[in-house]
Structure 1
Amino acid sequence: MIRLTNIQVPLDHDDQALTNAILTRLDITADDLISHEVHRRGYDARKKTNIVLIYTLDVETRCNDALLEKFAENHLVKVTPDMSYKYVAQAPANLQERPVIIGFGPCGLLAGLVLAQMGYNPIILDRGKEVRERTKDTFGFWRKKILNTESNVQFGEGGAGTFSDGKLYSQVKDPKHYGHKVLVEFVAAGAPDEIMYVSKPHIGTFRLVSMVEKMRAQIIALGGEIRFSARVDDVQIDDGQITGVVLADGEVIKSRHIGLAIGHSARDTFQMLYDKNVYIEAKPFSVGFRIEHQQSAIDEARFGSNAGNPILGAADYKLVHHCKSGRSVYSFCMCPGGTVVAATSEEHRVVTNGMSQYSRAERNANSAIVVGIDPSDYPGNPLAGIDFQRQLESNAYVLGGSNYDAPAQKVGDFLKGLSSETIGSVEPSFKPGIKLTDLSKALPDFCIEALREAIPVFNRKIKGFALEDAILTGVETRTSAPICIKRDQNFQSINTHGLFPAGEGAGYAGGIMSAAIDGIKIAEAMALSINESVK
């Protein structure tokens, strides 16, 4: 087939428009065209009165070879690449030990699935509960302020991405089309078919729950084993080679091939690995607040009179500002039509995150607005960033009333340096609840200064962003892990052979898709290493 990129048609185009665009691009007649299918559909909304849809199409004609030769120098006309997944190995008949995956978020899920599909019968360990029990615990915290430190937004089947917008797009380079493999598996597990072609696919929390269950069942059917409430408290290392893990109940599981997919909030595990001399570096991350506006206002600002068009859906945004101080402020994890949720995994701390359902039909839009920081802002050992996060989260707990309510402030008051006393037109969605206060006390002065500079700039890009009644809720600290567990070209720890750090917790991903892709990478690396070891 032939892949055509950058096919532009009006937002309200009819069925014939795509066909006409193909015929024009290739300079062929309707008789030459056999079929076409949509590979990708996005939009350009820079001109709100003239929004256009942008398609990537795979086309079959009666003269493919001639057309590819004719357009050989045209980068918009190329042969359709083979995006099917190719397994790099199959388990040997004399497989002597099973690989172990620690963590069952997007990274561990795809690592375990691909290993199971290749016949390696992986053992997957997660400190939290299976997804429906975990959902009960999480909602229990939001409604009754009863925190289970092992079963919450951060820990349990599906990982932190389960309670999110379910975004399935990433900016990572993907020459081997691992992302396509992820989407294929998600659709097979019940995700809507549209995630295969829309430019910014998402699923939403409730759909993710049932999908994760189906993928778990597939892993088990293929010979894998999944254990919940199975926290890893220690690893066994012999002369630089990992040989097993020790669970919280004392059980030892022997394996010389262990995938580490623990997510960005397993702070006790980071400490354990550091104490065992696994090489870890501090890395940059970001902190800030969640900001909420009425979704209708964001739709109007982004789409104008086209707001509400079902193809466009609820509007999102992506904002970046480079401050005079040299710091960057940017939007992160934008959730159209969603809610701000409590995301702590530790007692007496407050953490915010954002979540949406597939419909994105809630009243407010929310996004993290965060400031970039680096290890020079939290000097010390490689785990000093964790202490920095904890200090901010503990401070937010006190500012919120020491009862898991979150500190909040109207944007207008924040910019003026005034403590908020009343809620305006934007009603905060954070559960359990919020306490109005002065958020300048919630972050270091350099962060407050950067945010106060950036928000008015963002208002020039999205009208109403600096709305007096928009709500800021704090604090957002879990944008990414503050550490990186360095690995070599074989995806193994640079000083602990057989340990395969992966995903957000190891510093190699930033969202569901990139974490899942990294899970596939370590699954392949583990399989190749296992096969080499049994030769």
Structure 2
Amino acid sequence: MLRLTELTLPLHHEAEDLPAAICERLGIAPGELVRFEIARRGNDARNKRNIKLVYAIDVELADEAGVLVRLADDHRLRPTPDTEYRFVAHAPEGGTSLRPVVVGTGPCGLFAGLILAQMGFRPIILDRGKVVRERTKDTWGLWRKSVLDPESNVQFGEGGAGTFSDGKLYSRIKDPRHLDRKVLTEFVKAGAPPEILTEAHPHIGTFRLVTMVESIRATVESLGGEYRFSTRVDGIDIAPDRSVRGLHLHGGGYLEATHVVLAVGHSARDTFEMLHAAGVFVEPKPFSIGVRIEHPQSWIDTARFGAEAGNDILGAAEYHISHHCSNGRTVYSFCMCPGGTVVAATSEEGRVATNGMSQYSRNERNANSGFVVAIDPARDYPGDPLAGIAFQRHWESAAFVAGGSNYRAPGQLLGDFMAGRASTSLGSVVPSYRPGVTPTDLAQCLPDFAVEAMREAIPAFGRQIPGYDHPDVVMTGVETRTSSPVRFTRGKDFQSLNTAGLFPAGEGAGYAGGILSAAVDGIKVAEAVALSLTL
């Protein structure tokens, strides 16, 4: 088959228009088109008065070779890529002397465990939190009752932080092996809607992710994998030659292991500290700080789609914006959640951190996104590789106090923020954060450079998205968990630079940003473990 890309049709085209457009582009008669299937569909809404759908189509033709020769100079026509996943190794007969261990069950750990299980290595998978449904109850305990369980929350437990998010399944990674396709295919097997295989910006949403995580766990267990929940790793046993030989578990247990995948997520601060104390090589990594900003979704739909706002094909509108400030900082939107809610995302007592979440329907009243400022370790917290953790904790603690010291979040009207005055009440935009929002001055919860940069960026964003800078827009603080503040640097063999047998992976180790890229990294690390075990 051949892949035809950049095929555009009007938003309201008829079904028969698609094969006709294929034939016209290729210069063939209808009878020469044997069959076709949609590989990808997106939209081009740059002109709101003439929104178009943009397709990538796989076509089977009567004379594919001849068409390829005739259109050799057209970059929009190429052989359909081979996206079939092929395992790099299989466990030897009788298995290995020690089973590989995966620490963490977020997207990265989930796929590291799945791939290892599919290759026959019967992994042991540890998570400090609970199974996903029990974890969901604990998470709602914070949102509804202001009761935090430090081991079972938005950050920790089966499914990882991605479970309580928008469930976006796209990234900017370019992988010649198409490992992202393996991730999407496994998600569909686990219950995701099939359209995630064709939509340009697929998403799932929290409720669907819960059942999918359970399904993947069942698959791993059926292949001989073993899950151990409520099992925190408190120490790593490193031999004199700096190779891993085991893990010390909370409560005094010990697990012998020579191949450990570290997929703990970006908020496992105590684990980062433990590994640093054990001499595992770690370096600081950039992340960002800011707030969650909320607008009525209808405003964003109208700003992006004009008269087509609310069209079922287009769905809820998204945005991605950035601004380079005069103080050298970059301000940008992060993890935009159309038709979603702002959620309490702390994992430590006495601190407030926010994130965004959407369901598959994306039909809540507000849109929200991170409105954040990039941080440079060398400039903002030089020296100590763990200084970024202290930086995050400082501002999360300030937000806890500003919110009332009860897990309510500090909030401020955009108009008050721009004027430099504390908010005393809220306006027409109703904040979605639970347990609740306390009107205040967010400047007390953010570094001065961030406040300065955000105030400069807001008018620029308002010029790009009408209504973005409306004075009643709500800002809720603080957003600190955009990514891991550290990187556990690894070599070409995916092992720690100075600790053999330790495979840092995913977002927490500094190698991913989001569900899809974390899952892909989990696959790569699982392959590295398998090759190490079979050489």
TM-score by length of 1: 0.99
Q: Which residue, 422, 435, 438 being the options, matches 2:438?
A: 435
Deviation at 1:458, TM superposition (A): 0.3
2:309 is the counterpart of 1:320: no
1:253: Cα distance to partner?
1.1
Counterpart among 378, 381, 385 of residue 378 in structure 1: 381
Q: Give, in angstroms, the shift of residue 380 of structure 1.
A: 3.2
Give the structure 2 partner of residue 528 of structure 1. Answer: 531
1:150 corresponds in structure 2 to: 151
* 1:81-125 C-alpha deviation (Å, 9 max, x unpaired): 110100000001142110000000000000000000000000000
* Structure-to-structure mapping, 1:234-249, within 5 angstroms: 234-238=235-239, 239-249=241-251
Alignment of 1:82-231 (within 5 A): 82-94=82-94, 95-231=96-232
Please tell me the residue identity of whatever aligns with 1:164: S
Q: Name the CA distance, whole Å, in 2 between partners of 1:400 and 1:422.
A: 13
Query: Structure 2: how far apart are the matches of 1:161 and 1:300?
Result: 28
Name the amino acid aligned to 1:184.
Answer: T
Q: Classify the secondary structure of the residue corresponding to 1:523.
A: helix
How much does 1:442 deviate?
1.1
Residue in structure 2 matched with residue 275 of structure 1 by the alignment: 277
Provide the secondary structure at the position in 2 that maps to 1:23: helix
- Which residue, 438, 462, 467 being the options, matches 2:465? 462
Q: CA RMSD in A?
A: 0.6
Partner of 2:525: helix, strand, or coil?
A: helix
Paired residues in the alignment total 532
SS of the residue 2:348 aligns to: coil
Q: Would you identify which runs of 4 or more consecutive aligned residues in structure 1 move more than 4 Å? A: none
1:72 deviates by 2.1
AA of the residue aligned to 2:348:
E
Match of 1:13 in 2: 13
The residue number in structure 2 matching 1:403 is 406
Q: What SS class does the counterpart of residue 15 from structure 1 fall into?
A: coil
1:73 Cα deviation (Å)? 2.3
What SS class does the counterpart of residue 346 from structure 2 fall into?
Answer: coil
**Counterpart of 2:390?**
387
Corresponding letter in the other structure for 1:85: Y
Task: State the secondary structure of the residue aligned to 1:289.
Answer: strand
1:62 corresponding residue in structure 2: 62
**Cα deviation per residue 1:411-470 (whole Å; 9 max; x = unaligned)?**
011011111112111000000001000111111110000000001100000000001100
CA distance in 1 between partners of 2:133 and 2:256 (Å): 29
- The amino acid of 1:200's aligned partner reads H
Q: Secondary structure at the match of 2:49?
A: helix
Write the deviation string for residues 248-307 of structure 1: whole angstroms up to 9, x where unpaired.
022211111110000000000000000000000001110000000000011000000000
Pairwise CA distance, 1:336? 0.3
Match of 1:471 among 474, 479, 488: 474
Counterpart position of 2:257? 255
Alpha-carbon distance in 1 for matches of 2:393, 2:426: 28
Q: Give the residue type in structure 1 aligned to 2:283.
A: E
Q: Take 1:159 and 1:463, find their aligned partners in 2: how far apart are those partners?
A: 35
Could you list the per-position Cα deviations for residues 21-76 of structure 1 after superposition, in whole angstroms to 9, with x for gaps in the alignment?
11011100000011110000011111101000100000011111111222222211
2:28 is paired with a residue whose SS is coil
- Match of 1:325, SS state, is coil
* Cα distance, 1:335 vs structure 2: 0.3
Q: For 1:499 and 1:97, how far apart are their aligned partners in 2?
A: 14
Q: Distance in 2 between matches of 1:452 and 1:378?
A: 23
Equivalent residue for 2:76? Answer: 76
Unmatched tracts of structure 2, length 5 or more? none
SS in 2 for 1:506: coil
Q: Is residue 46 of structure 1 aligned with residue 46 of structure 2?
A: yes
Q: Which aligned pairs between 1:351-362 and structure 2 lie closer than 5 A?
A: 351-362=353-364
Q: Deviations over 1:361-400 (max 9, x none)?
A: 1000000000001112012310000000000000000000
Name the residue aligned to 1:507: 510
Matched, 1:422 2:428: no
Q: 3-state SS of the aligned residue for 1:299?
A: helix
Q: Distance in 2 between matches of 1:460 and 1:251?
A: 58
Q: Which runs of 5+ in 1 are unaligned?
A: none
- In 2: Cα distance, 1:416 partner to 1:45 partner: 34
**1:285 corresponding residue in structure 2:** 287
Write the deviation string for residues 173-222 of structure 1: whole angstroms up to 9, x where unpaired.
21110000000000000000000000000000000000000000000000
Tell me the distance in 1 between the aligned counterparts of 2:174 and 2:77.
Answer: 21
Aligned-partner Cα distance in 1 for 2:447–2:504 = 31
CA distance in 1, matches of 2:98, 2:71: 52
In structure 1, what is the Cα distance between the partners aligned to 2:116 and 2:263? Answer: 14
Deviates more, 1:374-383 or 1:120-129: 374-383
Q: How far apart are the structure 2 equivalents of 1:225 and 1:212? A: 15
Q: Provide the C-alpha distance between the structure 2 equivalents of 1:417 and 1:478, rounded to a whole number of angstroms.
A: 25
**AA partner of residue 162 (structure 2):** G
**302, 322, 331: which one aligns with 2:333:** 331
Within the candidate set 294, 305, 308, 1:306 is matched to 308
TM-score by length of 2: 0.99
